Amino acid sequence: MTSLFILNGPNLNLLGTREPEIYGTTTLAEIDAACAAKARELGLSADFRQSNHEGVLVDWMHQAHKAKARAIIINAAAYTHTSIALLDAAKAITPPVIEVHLSDPHTREEFRHQSHIGQAAVACFKGKGLASYLEAIEAAAAL
């Protein structure tokens, strides 16, 4: 099976209870299970991870590169808007990076409109909750 790394940034471990009016009530574990099922349906495997630490996310991107992953799907959460390190990592590796967001950052506070990781991403899926992840997996399968 060809692998996908699905990386999740800070505070996403609190999904289900964190600002449900913005992020919904689906937990990260439920997103993980749905992503694994969608990946299997498409003949892929999904390595689903979450960290609140920027450097860990960078390390995982490097690991995906070494593992020759088919793609990296990343919800960098708040690091989307602040992390040049994630942008540099995305530019330095060979697996294509696909950005994903549960909400649509462009409909929220102005500081969320800038996506550093998006500058290196081949696609972005946003504003559809869990469906954003599933669409990103379909896009990765089509690469």
Residues serving a catalytic function are 23, 101
Q: Give me 91's structure tokens.
A: 């530019």
Residue 109, number of CB atoms within 10 A of its CB: 8
Three-point CA angle 58, 63, 68, nearest 5°: 130
- How is residue 11 written in tokens? 């505070």
Amino acid at 59: D
The full length of the chain comes to 143
Tokens 């070494």 appear where? 66
